[in-house]
Amino acid sequence: MFVSNVGLGRLVGLGFRQNGLERNILHFGASCLLGTVLGALHFSSPSDPPPHSRVGSSFTMFGDLFEEDYSSVSNYQYGKEKKLKTKALEPPAPREFTNLSGIRNQGGTCYLNSLLQTLHFTPEFREALFSLGPEELGSFEDKDKPDAKVRIIPLQLQRLFAQLLLLDQDAASTADLTDSFGWTSNEEMRQHDVQELNRILFSALETSLVGTSGHDLINRLYHGTVVNQVVCKECKNVSEKQEDFLDLTVAVKNVSGLEDALWTMYVEEEMFDCDNLYHCGTCDRLVKAAKI
């Protein structure tokens, strides 16, 4: 690792040197303090390896993901068009004792924040995302060029995850990410179903990553198949139906944990009897049956 600094304790760059080549990971404006950023290399537990040891060589794919200027922050509660000016050299609030970074609520985006943290703490997803470099995703500098192919949503996700991993700040902003969704300030104040959002985000990522090595990222990590079988108690005929999924719905009330919830929803036998009989195609009548 190398740091570039100008003057006492003033950090302008942070990166890695490998095989004689330097790769800048972060580039900061003059307002960023050296101690503030190096403090971001403290992680959730002393026993936990730092992110670059988990991500491996793909950590170098951070590139120049973000240049932060802390001289102004947005007041999203009253709309992004209003700005609050802060003192020129004032850094953001540092991480708390957990050494983890949160995500700011834009007014009604807590459901979005919980989903993003879940994806961020899924190593396979995070590493697959960081393995995509600027040669495939493009770069922020080219986004306004008419012929440039810049994949904004995965770039903004990379940028957010890099901030959550590296910057010594108590919370990161999702403003640029929701801008890439095309959201307005009204949508940022409105609650939505997190499962529906997850499906929309996955669909947007799949569309954005067409033509890259990450084109199958979502299917590779999240695709599965549920097989539903119904056994007729009379003729023993088995009716089978397969359904693809990218997420599973489970009940959380009165269950001891995830395994219990999955067992109850997808494994435990369900009986068709009494007033809830099953129509068997072979018997051509209503019969008792078991769904397994």
Closest by alpha carbon to 151, among 166, 163, 135, 171? 135
pLDDT band at 84 (very low <50, low <70, confident <90, very high): very low
Cα 23 to Cα 30, 65, 87: the distances in Å are 20, 12, 31
Cα(43)–Cα(166) distance, rounded to whole angstroms? 9
Burial label, 232 (beta-carbon count in 10 A; 0-12, 13-18, 19+): buried
pLDDT on residue 229: 95
Cα(25)–Cα(66) distance, rounded to whole angstroms? 9
Angle between helix 110-120 and 123-130 (nearest 10): 80
| Per-residue pLDDT tens over the stretch 234-283 | 999 999 999 999 999 999 899 999 999 999 998 899 999 999 999 999 99
Does 51 score more than 90 pLDDT? no
Cα(157)–Cα(65) distance, rounded to whole angstroms? 10
Cα(158)–Cα(65) distance, rounded to whole angstroms? 7
Q: Which helix (H) or strand (E) holds 3?
A: strand 2-5
Instruction: Give Cβ neighbours of residue 123 (< 8 Å, ≥ 6 apart).
Output: 54
pLDDT on residue 209: 96
For the chain, domain boundaries? 2-221, 224-291
Cα(281)–Cα(236) distance, rounded to whole angstroms? 12
| Per-residue pLDDT tens over the stretch 136-186 | 999 888 888 888 788 999 999 999 999 999 888 889 999 889 888 888 767
pLDDT on residue 114: 94
Cα(58)–Cα(281) distance, rounded to whole angstroms? 54
Per the CB < 8 A criterion, the answer to whether 248 and 266 are in contact is yes
Closest by alpha carbon to 204, among 115, 86, 98, 94? 115
pLDDT band at 109 (very low <50, low <70, confident <90, very high): confident
Per the CB < 8 A criterion, the answer to whether 108 and 193 are in contact is no
pLDDT band at 187 (very low <50, low <70, confident <90, very high): low
pLDDT on residue 20: 53
Instruction: Considering only CA atoms, give the Rg of the chain.
Output: 24
Identity of residue 18: Q
pLDDT on residue 204: 92
Q: What is the pTM of this model?
A: 0.65
Cα(208)–Cα(129) distance, rounded to whole angstroms? 12
